[in-house]
Structure 1
């Protein structure tokens, strides 16, 4: 990662199937089944992303079919499901669509997904053209980094920068993404910062800090002048 925060462009799926606004209901269902996806971006005639159709947008149709007329001819169970009669992607889609740019950090993309509850985000350029799709599983790819790569980043981006000439006194070990820092350092005030920065390295699962301050010198003690005076006779 060269010391930079990982971005959506690093992990997104580039081969994406999309719909036109006029795509029919059955074609949408068929496409989802064929591509094993639960949502599809919708493009306008110019190729820009204008919405997303998900399985949740299709379900009201099923709710309608099972609702049936009530005892007085009213349709039951249709309150709040205006998409029940929709038949095309343009009518079914959720809009405005939530998108991210290719240079959006994975951390920001994860926060957007958590806040909005969506499972995937279309990735668009500045003009709104589709560049890819990033999903929750894509965001987790970063945790598949090799331990050796993570350790190298921690040594270069954290240890070397914080401790400079004394960096060789800090040892970095990584096991299944868990970083362990050991050794002695002169400035113990830097320990919390070292842990914070190491935790931010892409792929790090946790940080265990066993750093210690400089050893005590047994040849240095408290000088007491009265201790040098001879005891009274």
Structure 2
């Protein structure tokens, strides 16, 4: 998109709790309860994120605590049974972890969450070292941007760029994040581009693009001359 998009480092939470891969089961539970989170990044000795342990990884311990599973269950639920027998974060965690980089755009982080089916992502630097965590609510914070701020960016980064010299002809109105573009422009092939770039502006909920081309003009060419006539023949009089 045009302008300067927010990155994950702009919205992430920098104070984040994590556990080492050797952390015992009860320490994980205590950390989740104390910090009121449902998942924790798991780090190696160099503070690199190697996995994530969640409440879902811990629950098999309780589910199979007093049950002797039959052969069918052992075959069908073998991953859960392995977690039920696990004692440390390294044995419990889901790996590799789905992560975001500090320089990722919010759209990239949102796609990573959707693909991974997760609600939050550990944020790492180029070396994989933990820098913070970004959640769904963090990504949605861009929609708190004011309508006035959105309108200014659309005028500056979209309208002025695509339609130089025609800025006064294009009206930009924003209400509750919905942008409406109206007016006339010389090159209508740029109208879909304007709609797409406007939609890419952070905080935009939707775009109503009603830009039109220049008005049609009536043919003002002068009348054609009379047709030539034979010598001695008078021109026909108009009816």
TM-score by length of 2: 0.86
Measure, in 1, the Cα distance between the counterparts of 2:13 and 2:206.
Answer: 27
Residue aligned with 2:111, SS: helix
1:93-172 alignment to 2 at 5 Å? 93-172=93-172
Measure, in 1, the Cα distance between the counterparts of 2:115 and 2:193.
Answer: 28
The alignment yields a C-alpha RMSD, in angstroms, of: 2.6
Measure, in 1, the Cα distance between the counterparts of 2:168 and 2:95.
Answer: 54
Change (3 A) 1:167 1:62: same
Residues 187-208 of structure 1 deviation map (CA, whole Å, 9 limit, x = unaligned): 1111111001100001110001
Give 1:221 deviation, angstroms.
Answer: 4.6
Is the CA contact 2:50–2:97 (under 8 Å) kept in the aligned structure 1?
yes
Residues 97-142 of structure 1 deviation map (CA, whole Å, 9 limit, x = unaligned): 2222101111111111111212211111112211111112211111
Is the CA contact 2:122–2:132 (under 8 Å) kept in the aligned structure 1?
yes
1:195-214 alignment to 2 at 5 Å? 195-214=195-214
Give 1:213 deviation, angstroms.
Answer: 1.6
Structure 1 stretches lacking a partner, 5+ long: none
Residue aligned with 2:181, SS: strand
Measure, in 2, the Cα distance between the counterparts of 1:157 and 1:91.
Answer: 50
Report runs of 4+ in structure 1 exceeding 4 Å deviation: 74-78, 221-224, 226-233
103-112 or 195-204, which deviates more:
103-112
TM-score by length of 1: 0.88
Q: Is 1:79 aligned to 2:78, yes or no?
A: yes
Residues 144-170 of structure 1 deviation map (CA, whole Å, 9 limit, x = unaligned): 111111111101110000000111211
Residues 61-102 of structure 1 deviation map (CA, whole Å, 9 limit, x = unaligned): 122125x13689x97985331111112112111112222210
